[in-house]
Amino acid sequence: MSARGSSRPTADAAVGERLRRMREARGYSLSALARAAGIGKATLSGLEHGTRNPTLETLYAVAGALEVPLTALVLKPGDPPAAAVDVRGAAVTATLLEVFDEPGATFELFWMRVRPGVAQHSPAHARGVTEHITVYGGVLRAGPEDAPLAAGPGEHVTFPADVPHIYQAGGPDEVVANLLIRSPR
């Protein structure tokens, strides 16, 4: 099935195992990482043990605290992007299409759908992360929570993602877009 109509699983134990290994490699206790990510210790423990399906918001909070791109959590090193799990949040479903590594940055390209009627608040990513969104359908409001930008079909927005930010359909229709996240090394 294509990425646009993906039927990938939403989470698996491998995500939790990668998360645990990264936490331990950085010397974080479960409590310390939970505090740094702004999530509950029980939530983090459930993620690590594969008993909880992580939301997009939770995965970004943990990735930001660990200072790694989201794909470091949802994709096994060396696996193709199609092996990554889809991630879902309050309003957004994101399917990884490709990861591009360059000497100074990692780029993650996602197919993104934003459901109308609810806003998704994303925690700040690591310092220097930017997001670039091209809208194909619907009207999107996205960007820093205090100054979101708007884009319709064929339009593009770029914003710093190292601050809390928001995604929201700006009307009654689902938003269909590509999201490119640039994470400096």
Residues 81-128: tens digit of each pLDDT: 888 878 888 999 999 999 998 999 999 999 999 999 999 998 888 899
Name the pairing type of β-strands 105-114 and 119-122: unpaired
* CA–CA gap between residue 183 and residue 185 (Å, rounded): 7
Q: What is the pTM of this model?
A: 0.81
* CA–CA gap between residue 2 and residue 25 (Å, rounded): 35
Could you give the 3-state DSSP secondary structure of residue 122? strand
pLDDT tens readout for residues 124-165? 888 999 999 999 999 999 999 999 999 999 999 999 999 999
